[in-house]
Amino acid sequence: MKNLKFILVLVLLTLGFSSCSSDNDDNILVINPLEEYNLISKIEDNGHHIELYAENQDFIIGYNEIMIRIKDEVTGEYFSNPTISWIPMMHMMNMKHSAPKSNLSIMKENNTISKGFLVFQMASNSEEFWDITFNYKIDGKEYVTTQVIDVKAPKDKRQQVTSFLGNDETKYVLAMVSPKTPEVTINDFKAVLFKMEDMMTFSVVKDFKVGIDPRMPGMGNHSSPNNKDLTYDETTKCYIGKLSLTMTGYWKINMTLFNEVGELIKGEALTEEQESSSLYFELEF
Amino acid sequence: MTIIKCAHKVFTLPMAWCQPTIKWLTQWFVILGMTNITAQELILPQDSIITVNLDEVILISARKTLDYHRQAKPLSTLEEYLESSKKVTMVKRGAYAWEPSLNNMFSERLSITIDGMKIFGACTDKMDPITSYVEVSNLAKAYVASGQQGAKHGSTIGGAIDLQLEKSDFRDTGLQGGVETGFESNNEMNVWGVNLDYSRSNFYIDADLSYRKAENYSAGGGEEVAFSQFEKFNVAINSGYKLNEHQSLAASIIFDDARDVGYPALPMDVSMAQGVITSIGFEQDSLFGSLFNWNSKLYFNTITHIMDDTNRPDVPIHMDMPGWSDTYGFFSEVRSHIKKHSFLFKLDGYYNKSLAEMTMYPNVPEELPMFMLTWPDVRTVNVGFYVEDEIGLKGSTLKVATRLALQNQDVADEFGLNSLRIFYPEMQKSKTRFLKSISGQWHKMWMPWHLNVGLSYGDRAPSVSEGYGFYLFNSFDNHDYIGDPELANEKSMEVNAKISWKKEKFKLSAEANFFHIPDYIIGEVDPNLSVMTIGAEGVKVYKNLEYANLFNTSLEMEYIPFSQFKWTSLLSYHRAVDQHKENLPFISPFSYRSSLTYNKGSLSGTIGMTGAGKQVHYNSKFGEDQTKAFTVFSLSLGKTFNFNNDLMYTKIGMENIFDKKYSTYSDWKNIPRMGRNFFVTVSYAIN
Ligand SMILES: [Cu+2]
């Protein structure tokens, strides 16, 4: 009996070591690299399983970071270095539109996983729905599949994406990327800004500036010190700044958007009379 | 009424008043038998002659000495006793838990200890000075030392108050007990006290229990001051055991619990303020060499303070604000006489945890509560070494003393540290400071003249609020306060002098001190910051001023025309400015008091007067306005009765006789003081 236990331990240890060392040269992993994430959608088509992972339990309105793996239905093996592109589509009562998105790129840490993001401006409902079409290439062969997904409002119903018509008569979508878990501290504040070229095309807007003024409407609309406005970062293609939250609770992050020459595109600066901006995010924690 | 008016006249008469007046008055006072209420007589000089120490000793308990006539008002609050000191004034935020100030400096600049034990309040709004966690029944005396002369128990700028616990201390008195009760008309305060002591030459145990409950009080003119009620329960046990002729152990525990305490001057009340104060001590009469009176103590105390705004109408937002403060400490002291030197060596240390939080409940019910740490679990470790040497010189005495201490403060709570880093991104988690104090005090006597001169230097670390406070609302100046962990230590250079002229029947002394305080810590408005508290005017951040200067002076007189009469008077003047000659807040205007005491046999009586001039120097930036001049009068009468072996003592009195509506410079938001008040106390001692 004792020997058996010993052998078991030995086997487990060997397994553990081999899995650790196999990271680079073997694509099949014993330990799931996406363990911390939730499988939010699974498509079975073309003899493949396309798995979509995210931090949330569901697709939600706003910024969604998504990781994708494609598995061979027969062997159960994940394909390495697939080329995948995606098109999200909202099917409304009398029209269709897409959503801002990034390209999918293979993760450095694991070449079976492709990573990207989608920004949903609205939730699915009984009459209107979202789907995602995947075009992907494996071993030189191209495949297509479409899956209906369910986009939900975030649990706290707080606004973390906003689409609006700017003073320059252009439609924009601004979505908050982080803080995902806000804390009482100076948080890294990140957002993505897209210009709506047409119903199907969204392009990243560069070199604008977003003034931020976080407020607590429930507490005399007070602000916080040492915030840093969002500025464009070329490497991440995101707008990056700092957001100070001096206590937990409901915060409204009032914003003003300026174009590259400093003209106000959207939002109002806050004063005694102007208690909030028409451009804002919400956070509650 | 005519009598009282006459008395008033007496006090305003110049000192050389004529004999016939005295005789005339004497007759009346014999009939009235008045006692002191302003309680000049409570302040006993340590010796009959002025020593090198300018300490004041305030007698609190009469239980052991049965010296009842010395008590102005038995069963009055500890704060009332302390207020009778020459140097102590009180900041009032209501009827309960007044904050003592010494030389016009408050808690953070003072060292306040109980039997040498460090205790720190748990309220971010200073609702609980540590004097509020004991009862008069626990205490024997209060020592009040000015400036660096108070450095024995800790670093200080303004001075020290050490409250000494009442103990039977191996007096062979057997079993003794007593019951006390008191009633005050103005706020219908009932006080009950029971004590039971058993003491033998090798063992003692003392227990006392007291309870007081007061309703709202009324200001002069009869206007009720809402939310000024309070209720307090206190029980204390002290015990000592002699291991042998040379060694003894002592232990004490105080449990103090105040409930439903109103703070009419503040936007919140307190639902519970609880303190548990414990210690064990060891004494040995000699150590080695020439060292004697070795006295050591280990202690622990824990304070819980729960604020409450649920009884207040129209609060913009409801909030919970609990605070906790735990202190673990020790000290060990020993004395030595070598030739003309008498030394005291003391090693002490403490560890304090201060944590306070604030949860605000939004008016929109679906929103999550707002939470922050107002004191981020600050852990303070302080270890100090104190030496004093009293040197007998030819015809004079010199006392030199020094304290060196190392203090480390560490923000233990990650949440709190992150909160503060919003303001100070570079802030370190922990900060160490070196604190030092050195003082010299010289006393010279040429009968009947005495001269005391002192010179000293000291510094202090910022308090938890000053260093780490996070949006602490001060309702006085209507600002939120933010601490600064990088504040420099506040330093103090002090000179003091006292000259006295003493004859058997007449004593006159003039005293002055001057503090030059570089890096004086005070809040300064930061216009870039946004207020957190709804309705607040702005945010202040604690800063070091370049310097501040404080000056206090007083003139004291005591005259004993006949052995049973004593007339005392005290005049004082204070002034304090910063480097721009701007007034500092909470500085007393010219003030005065005077009392005449009669004391013979079982009868005692006092008539007293106290008042202040118009406040000339004030600072509206700190929420101050000009406080008007006032004078109030009081009188009391006491008598002792003997029943076989037992003793009964009763005292009746009236305070604010003319029901004057007034407030002093130190009354928070000009909250009026109590109007006319009658009190009765009965103490019955079973021997
Ligand atoms: Cu409090």
Residue pairs spanning A and B at CB distance below 8 A: 84
Tell me the ipTM for this assembly.
0.80
Cα–Cα nearest to A100, from A230, A197, A212? A197
- CA distance linking residue B47 with residue B36, whole number of Å: 21
CB contacts of B471 in chain A (<8 Å) are 246
Q: Is-contact A279 A269, C-beta < 8 A?
A: no
Predicted confidence (pLDDT) per residue in B219-248, tens digit:
999 999 999 999 999 999 999 999 999 999
In sign, the C-alpha dihedral spanning B470, B473, B479, B483 is negative
Cα–Cα nearest to B647, from B68, B175, B167? B68
Element (H, E) at B11: helix B2-12
* A223, A225, A249 member nearest B423 (Cβ): A225
Smallest Cα distance from B472 to chain A, Å: 13
- CATH 2.60.40.1940 in chain A, residue ranges: 38-152
Name the token pair of B249: 């152990």
Q: Is-contact B579 B558, C-beta < 8 A?
A: no
Smallest Cα distance from B411 to chain A, Å: 15
User: Which string of DSSP letters, residue by residue, matches A32-77?
Assistant: -TTTTSEEEEEEEETTEEEEEEESSSSEESEEEEEEEEEEETTT-P
In sign, the C-alpha dihedral spanning A138, A140, A141, A146 is positive
Q: Is-contact B125 B472, C-beta < 8 A?
A: yes
Give the type of residue at B230: F
Nearest residue in A to B369, CA atom: A249
Beta-carbon separation of B425 and A226 below 8 A? yes
> Residue A267, by phi and psi: left (phi above 0), alpha (psi -120 to 50) or beta?
left
Beta-carbon separation of A220 and B533 below 8 A? yes
User: Residue B341 gets which letter from DSSP?
Assistant: E
CB contacts of B372 in chain A (<8 Å) are 184, 246-248
Question: Which pLDDT score is estimated for B686?
Answer: 85
* B363, B370, B534 member nearest A249 (Cβ): B370
- CA distance linking residue B467 with residue A178, whole number of Å: 31
Q: Is-contact A253 A239, C-beta < 8 A?
A: no
Q: Is B62 exposed, middle or buried (0-12, 13-18, 19+ CB in 10 A)?
A: middle
- Omega within 30 of 0 (cis) for the link into B448: yes
Q: Is-contact B218 B187, C-beta < 8 A?
A: yes
Beta-carbon separation of A219 and B535 below 8 A? no
Q: Is-contact B379 B409, C-beta < 8 A?
A: yes
Q: Is-contact B293 B246, C-beta < 8 A?
A: no
- CA distance linking residue B530 with residue B536, whole number of Å: 10
Q: Is B504 helix (H, G, I), strand (E, B) or coil?
A: coil
Name the token pair of B444: 């010279």
Q: Is-contact B74 B650, C-beta < 8 A?
A: no
The distance from CA B372 to its chain's CA centroid, rounded to whole angstroms, is 31
Q: How many residues does chain A have?
A: 285
Q: Is B119 helix (H, G, I), strand (E, B) or coil?
A: coil
Smallest Cα distance from B527 to chain A, Å: 11
Query: Best mutation site among A245, A248, A254, A285 for testing chain B: the one with the most B CBs within 10 Å?
Result: A248
* B363, B368, B535 member nearest A248 (Cβ): B368
A38-152, CATH topology level: Immunoglobulin-like (2.60.40)
Cα–Cα nearest to B280, from B309, B239, B220? B239
CATH of region A161-284, choose from 2.60.40, 3.50.50, 1.10.10, 2.40.50: 2.60.40
In sign, the C-alpha dihedral spanning A90, A96, A99, A102 is positive
User: Residue A13 gets which letter from DSSP?
Assistant: H
Element (H, E) at B125: none
Greatest alpha-carbon pair distance for chain A in Å reads 79
Which residues of B have a CB under 8 Å from any CB of A? 316-317, 358, 360, 362-364, 367-372, 415, 418-419, 421-423, 425, 470-471, 528-535
Q: Is B4 helix (H, G, I), strand (E, B) or coil?
A: helix
- CA distance linking residue A200 with residue A96, whole number of Å: 8
Cα–Cα nearest to B381, from B414, B408, B415? B408
Name the token pair of B79: 């704060």
Which residues 6+ apart lie within 8 Å of A56 measured at CB? Answer: A38, A40, A64
Tokens 């130190």 locate to B666
Q: Is-contact B438 B463, C-beta < 8 A?
A: no
Q: How far is CA B240 from CA B237, B283, B284, B294, B455, in A?
A: 10, 10, 13, 16, 39
Q: How far is CA B308 from CA A206, A247, B212, B321, B358, in A?
A: 51, 20, 20, 7, 11
Give the type of residue at B349: G
Which residues 6+ apart lie within 8 Å of B27 measured at CB? Answer: none
Name the token pair of B130: 């540590």
Q: Which residues pair with B211 in a beta bridge?
A: B192, B233
Residues of chain A with pLDDT under 70: 1-31
Tokens 């004057």 locate to B660
Element (H, E) at B83: helix B78-83
Q: Which segments of B137-215 are extended strands (E)?
A: 139-146, 159-165, 174-184, 189-199, 203-214
Centre of ligand 1 to C-alpha B272, Å, is 9
Say how many C-beta atoms besides its own lie within 10 A of residue A1's C-beta: 5
Domains and CATH numbers, chain B: 3-646+662-686 (2.40.170.20)
Question: Which pLDDT score is estimated for B9?
Answer: 30
Residues of chain B with pLDDT under 70: 1-54, 62-72
Predicted confidence (pLDDT) per residue in A173-225, tens digit:
999 999 989 999 999 999 999 999 988 899 999 999 999 999 999 888 999 99
Question: Which pLDDT score is estimated for A7?
Answer: 52
Centre of ligand 1 to C-alpha B97, Å, is 11
Nearest residue in B to A242, CA atom: B422
Question: Which pLDDT score is estimated for B1?
Answer: 31
Which residues of A have a CB under 8 Å from any CB of B? 183-186, 216, 218-220, 222-226, 244-250, 284-285
Backbone angles phi, psi at B367, to 5 degrees: -75, 150
Beta-carbon separation of B367 and A185 below 8 A? no
Element (H, E) at A233: strand A228-233
Q: Is A118 exposed, middle or buried (0-12, 13-18, 19+ CB in 10 A)?
A: buried
Q: Is B449 exposed, middle or buried (0-12, 13-18, 19+ CB in 10 A)?
A: exposed
User: What pTM, to 2 d.p., does this model score?
Assistant: 0.84
Q: Is B294 helix (H, G, I), strand (E, B) or coil?
A: strand
Name the token pair of A234: 């070329």
